Chains A and B, each alone.
Chain A
């Protein structure tokens, strides 16, 4: 395998990172909205959020990408692959992060909300200043765990013609007929991204467990 092939893999890696970042940022913003809706205490809003989470957790990511890209094209909405994939990952990640963060918000003791209300803090301040800082701490291990899943999940973007790391690997492997070597390198690159994150998540989880002993 020559330098050119390796650089091609790195270009794929760059897209994998970009897709992960888009999914995480887009999914994070939308996921916060989902989590807040899910814990709003307004029954119809909670039901809508619960259905949204159920829908995207209950169907394969591959299918979601497929629907956003080809499905919307069928009804005349031809999206750029980039936009389609960004929307697909944002929807997917927002459902999972929304559910993780809902759990964390509910894990903050009720007394915190009551004390904040008794001090006449309004909803925005109660969330921003009191509940979310504690909820985010609680959610960190699970959030990082999901980020690892998301990085690996970006390989599915190949279905809409996206040349991220996994697809770059199969292209190179088809060219130089050394699948073992090529996919060994591809695997090592995924591992180099995911393993430190997993370690960090496990470390945070241990630290959290001792802090709240």
Chain B
């Protein structure tokens, strides 16, 4: 959310996120098998793959909602360690939007947006509310600022969740199937918000099966299966000339489903 609306910053060569040989186990089950991924500042990645392939696990490792056993993750030059100071530092740079919104039900929309900036960035109430109102306006929901989440539709709640994450001024936004829990008629309002964010130059990793969105904004589409990155390519190539059999099969299933 910068003021450079006229010249949207293009993806640069500076890596914003680097994952090196990241391995993640759930007990005896290997959920991530040596993930290598580098995301440049301003780049938009769409992550897709069958259920259980490790998409959520991958992005949840980036802000350490999941611990990982091997490998290294760097975000904006900060190496994620096991100590709470680097985890905190990374979380301040990384916003996350969940499938089920996860708004705080006992707080109003505005309070949802001001809580973290006031607690962790030590902003005063005035400043935090001004930022929150500006961002709620950006996601076109300012008029609902004093309502509680339960009084909003799913699409509205998800846009509030996006605004809440943006209030921390993140450099990266992670989306985990942000439209999967929505009624079909509300999918578009959330995708439009994400497209606008992408156009402003936000670095984004989106787990989604909205292939129209992928075609429109992704710099790269990454296909995962069984905890591995199987294929990655720009959307034009990914959709027209996928090279792996599993990708072809997956695309076939997805496109049939629509």
Q: Which residues of A contact B (CB under 8 A)?
A: 109, 111-112, 114-122, 125, 129-130, 133-134, 137
- Cβ-closest chain A residue relative to B95: A118
Closest A residue to B91 using CB positions: A120
Query: B157-189: which residues lie under 8 A (CB-CB) from chain A?
Result: 161, 164-165, 168
Check A114/B102 contact, CB under 8 A, given A120-B88, A122-B88. Answer: yes
Distance of A137 Cα from B104 Cα, bound (Å): 14
Tell me whether A119 and B88 are in contact (CB under 8 A). Answer: no
| Interface flag for B239 (CB, 8 Å) | no
Residues of the A chain whose Cβ atoms lie less than 8 Å from the Cβ of B161: 115
Task: Known contacts A111-B98, A118-B94, A121-B120; decide if A134 and B105 are in contact (CB<8 Å).
Answer: yes
Q: 1/0 contact trace for B86-110 toward A, CB 8 Å?
A: 0010011011101010111110000
> Would you list which residues of chain B between 56 and 99 have a CB under 8 Å from chain A?
63, 65, 84, 88, 91-92, 94-96, 98
A120 contacts B106, CB within 8 Å?
no
* Given A111-B100, A112-B102, A114-B98, CB of A121 within 8 Å of CB of B119: yes
Given A120-B92, A129-B115, residue A115 in contact with residue B106 (CB < 8 A): no
Main secondary structure of the interface of B (DSSP, over half): mixed
Other-chain contact of A117, B65, B95, B119 (Cβ < 8 Å) = B65
- State in angstroms the CA–CA spacing of A119 and B162 once bound together: 12
The residues in B between 103 and 136 inclusive whose CB is less than 8 angstroms from any CB of A are 103-106, 115-116, 119-120
Chain B residues with a Cβ closer than 8 Å to the other chain, count: 24
Residue pair A115, B98 in contact (C-beta under 8 Å): yes
- Tell me, in angstroms, the Cα distance from A129 to B117 when the chains sit together: 13
* Distance to closest chain B CB from A76 (angstroms): 45
Identity of the chain A residue whose Cβ is nearest the Cβ of B116 in the assembled complex: A119
CB-based nearest A residue for B161:
A115
- Residue among B65, B91, B94, B116 having the largest count of chain A Cβ atoms under 10 Å: B116
Q: Which of A109, A121, A133 contacts B106 (CB 8 A)?
A: A133
With A111-B102, A112-B102, A130-B104 in contact, is A118–B96 under 8 Å at CB?
yes
Residue with the highest number of chain B CB atoms closer than 10 Å, among A111, A120, A125: A120
CB nearest neighbor in B for A129:
B115
**Which residue of chain A is the closest to B115 with respect to CB atoms?**
A129
Residues of B bordering A, CB below 8 Å: 63, 65, 84, 88, 91-92, 94-96, 98, 100, 102-106, 115-116, 119-120, 161, 164-165, 168
CA distance A112 to B95 in the complex (A): 15
Whole-angstrom CA separation of A116 from B115 in the bound complex? 10
Contacting pair B91 A118 (CB below 8 A): yes
Expressed in whole angstroms, the Cα–Cα distance for A130 and B102 within the complex equals 11
Q: Which residues of chain B are within 8 angstroms of A134 by Cβ–Cβ distance?
A: 105-106
Residues of B within 8 A of A114 (CB): 65, 98, 102
B171 to chain A, nearest CB (A): 13
Best-buried of A118, A125, A134, A137 by chain B (most CB within 10 Å): A118
Question: Contact: B104 with A121, CB < 8 Å?
Answer: no
* Cα–Cα distance between A163 and B105 once the two chains are bound (Å): 46
Residues from chain B with a CB closer than 8 A to the CB of A130 are 104, 115
Question: In the complex, given contacts A114-B65, A119-B115, A133-B106, what are 10 additional A-B residue pairs having Cβ atoms less than 8 angstroms apart?
Answer: A114-B102, A115-B103, A119-B168, A120-B91, A120-B120, A120-B168, A129-B104, A129-B115, A130-B104, A130-B115
Determine how close the nearest CB of chain B comes to the CB of A189; give it in whole angstroms. Answer: 37
Query: Which residues of chain A have C-beta atoms less than 8 A from B91's C-beta?
Result: 117-120
